[in-house]
Structure 1
């Protein structure tokens, strides 16, 4: 779930943008939809892109600049051009607007400690699909034979392209998620799996099948920016992933209340699902929990999720907001660790070590303290550099 905002950027070349959001699941074959003030139903649970107001497609208005041709490839060179206002050749960098967020989680230090930048790590993005032609994804996707679309009627096919138009509630969601992951771990490989329609809706059965399929394709990290009010067959798929050694990163939800939604709430368990899963909320630059982000005893880590500039269909870039956008930040940091040889010494422990290496932010959130008792903001703010140091 997430709230989406928009900014305008004047750049050169092709345009790029990303948007991510959260989803929900239920006990049977439930319907998932973007959670924009949709009433819960006993027959189906609708998942939503976590917005403060309006529909996910609201960000599609206005003009956007172009993604600089060839500039994305500079991320993989190790020069960390992502933090500069321009690349070495003078081309404007469309994503320098995220510099404060990346500094907040000490990303530059983490990438220095992980020079492979996630190379060899497959991250499955189970979402609304992605814009396969976006320049941000050139050379970053797994082989086409591994792609899948479970959101179509009938048997799944191999075309996980974003469908619909900007007027659709969930259009661009998966593209956004994938783009954020690659900002953090530029050499990781994205396995695109479409399990949600452009409306932001999807079946929990489809998502469960997608998770199982991703694991069987060698994905070591599975990004699930989807939420629901109750449990479903997705939990069995997450358990399968955990037993197979894959980490599952999930959104806490965007209602702003003290209940972490499913399936993220499962990450709080002490079994394999809890050890290999991680629930993610959103934090502001001020170190306050984002007003829209859910919290509570099952929240494990906070990451930036407000106005994150990323890729969007048709080669665009936009700024997005919500816990769905915080999730791929964590997925990317896990990919950095898994891309290094020393991470093998911490097999099955990376999620736990990431959770407990965060910065305590209770002093910035005194309005929440004492309302529930105990730890309600998890381990606080993600510290990517401290985490990488801890798993060396």
Structure 2
């Protein structure tokens, strides 16, 4: 995979908002990309049935199959997904559109300097250097206020293992795997996957300032600032334009769970509920993973999928939806909101690694979400005293109140029951 980018001293602004935009861009795949069916459909698999039997029964390839779990996902062409095609295949369920159903776009400001070439971030991740000096965040001073508000210094004191031994899957546009910021912090290369291109190299691909390029690198960088000794499992499901398919997102979630990811970050979203993706999330949480997803950036009174279904209890157990507020605690102008939303974090002007050694400022629910994912990694590395199933609920319950004194009155109870991520209060409650 060839990575194309501008020079490291380029200063620019991209044009769209970070994480979970439901406006699906063009679904055109790069040359050599994996097969991308028009539609997908999940069917039940009776005990003892083989993949070959399922494919013979329905006349369509089973692109996901697990007899033990009792399901298969069929890949359908547009003709097969038509009413007459479904009748010919003896399929009675409604297929899901697959192509470009998920997206993660971004507003990024690329600074005209590289702070990573000095090795600061590399030294911190490899050596565990303290990031705090007299209450100031030393690694990236631009994030000082953001991290003071969520009580990151106090949280890292409470969780001195700093996420060590916890694998966080970043399912996104990929990660710049050669970036010094990730030295010593990535899962073994044999676990990496690019589901979009159909290979094992999840490196970012694209042109800086266009589409989703750099989005996954930024998300992974936020996780590591919160939990600097966590391990990042990079899984690419979104193309250079920031769009991705139902099938690839579901495959990546299954892969992450199979590789032992304890936390899965989904800074992406869709207008439409995908049963294929939601069932993959349910399987992952049943295997012990905690899943966090961003709420979306259209300033709508409804949050995107899969975040929409991550309410506590039922299918939402061990999962969490995350929206965005600014440093004054006010709802970000772009953040979606809903009574389904469980938590908000800081999602405006968050600084994090960018491809080619750059320091990038991102804005959107995409960068609020990995703050929560990193906080869960902190807790898991210390062996919480509460059941695993209670961790995401506790994180939401121990948030700051963003409704006091009439604040956020138009959004009462639609930015979480309490509101803003408070890592110190959360860790004190679960450790």
Task: Provide TM-score, normalisation by structure 1.
Answer: 0.82
| 1:80 partnered with 2:130 | yes
| 1:268 partnered with 2:311 | yes
CA distance in 1 between counterparts of 2:387 and 2:152 reads 20
CA distance in 2 between counterparts of 1:208 and 1:391 reads 30
| 1:165 partnered with 2:210 | no
Alignment match, 1:210: 252
Aligned length: 348
How far apart are 1:73 and its partner, in Å? 3.8
How far apart are 1:160 and its partner, in Å? 0.4
| 1:175 partnered with 2:214 | no
How far apart are 1:49 and its partner, in Å? 3.8
How far apart are 1:45 and its partner, in Å? 5.6
CA distance in 2 between counterparts of 1:83 and 1:195 reads 38
Would the aligned equivalents of 2:191 and 2:259 in 1 still touch at CA under 8 Å? yes
How far apart are 1:21 and its partner, in Å? 2.2
| 1:377 partnered with 2:415 | yes
Of 354, 363, 376 in structure 2, the residue corresponding to residue 334 of structure 1 is 376
How far apart are 1:110 and its partner, in Å? 0.5
Alignment match, 2:403: 362
Greater shift after overlay, 73-82 or 105-114? 73-82
Would the aligned equivalents of 1:128 and 1:173 in 2 still touch at CA under 8 Å? yes
Alignment match, 1:313: 355
Task: Provide TM-score, normalisation by structure 2.
Answer: 0.75
Of 275, 279, 298 in structure 1, the residue corresponding to residue 321 of structure 2 is 279
Alignment match, 1:22: 20
Of 223, 241, 260 in structure 2, the residue corresponding to residue 199 of structure 1 is 241
CA distance in 2 between counterparts of 1:368 and 1:86 reads 32
CA distance in 1 between counterparts of 2:39 and 2:131 reads 46
Give the 3 Å change call, closer, same or farther, for CA 278–100 of structure 1 in structure 2: same
Larger strand proportion of the pair: 2
CA distance in 1 between counterparts of 2:196 and 2:135 reads 38
Whose relative contact order is higher, 1 or 2, with alpha carbons under 8 Å and at least 6 apart?
A: 1
Give the 3 Å change call, closer, same or farther, for CA 116–218 of structure 1 in structure 2: same
Alignment match, 2:118: 69
Report 1:1-392 matches (<5 A).
21-22=19-20, 28-29=39-40, 46-49=101-104, 56=107, 59=109, 63-76=112-125, 77=127, 79-81=129-131, 95-152=140-197, 156-232=198-274, 233-268=276-311, 270-271=313-314, 273-341=315-383, 343=384, 345-363=386-404, 366=407, 368-369=409-410, 375-378=413-416, 379-392=418-431
Would the aligned equivalents of 1:20 and 1:174 in 2 still touch at CA under 8 Å? no
CA distance in 1 between counterparts of 2:424 and 2:408 reads 29
CA distance in 2 between counterparts of 1:365 and 1:115 reads 37
Would the aligned equivalents of 1:280 and 1:302 in 2 still touch at CA under 8 Å? yes
CA distance in 2 between counterparts of 1:344 and 1:216 reads 25
SS in 1 for 2:264: strand
Would the aligned equivalents of 2:394 and 2:429 in 1 still touch at CA under 8 Å? yes
Contiguous gaps of at least 5 residues in structure 2 = 1-7, 11-16, 25-37, 42-95
CA RMSD of aligned residues (A): 2.9
The C-alpha deviation readout for 1:226-260, integer Å capped at 9, x for no partner, is 11111111101111111111011000000112101
Alignment match, 1:15: none
Alignment match, 1:37: none
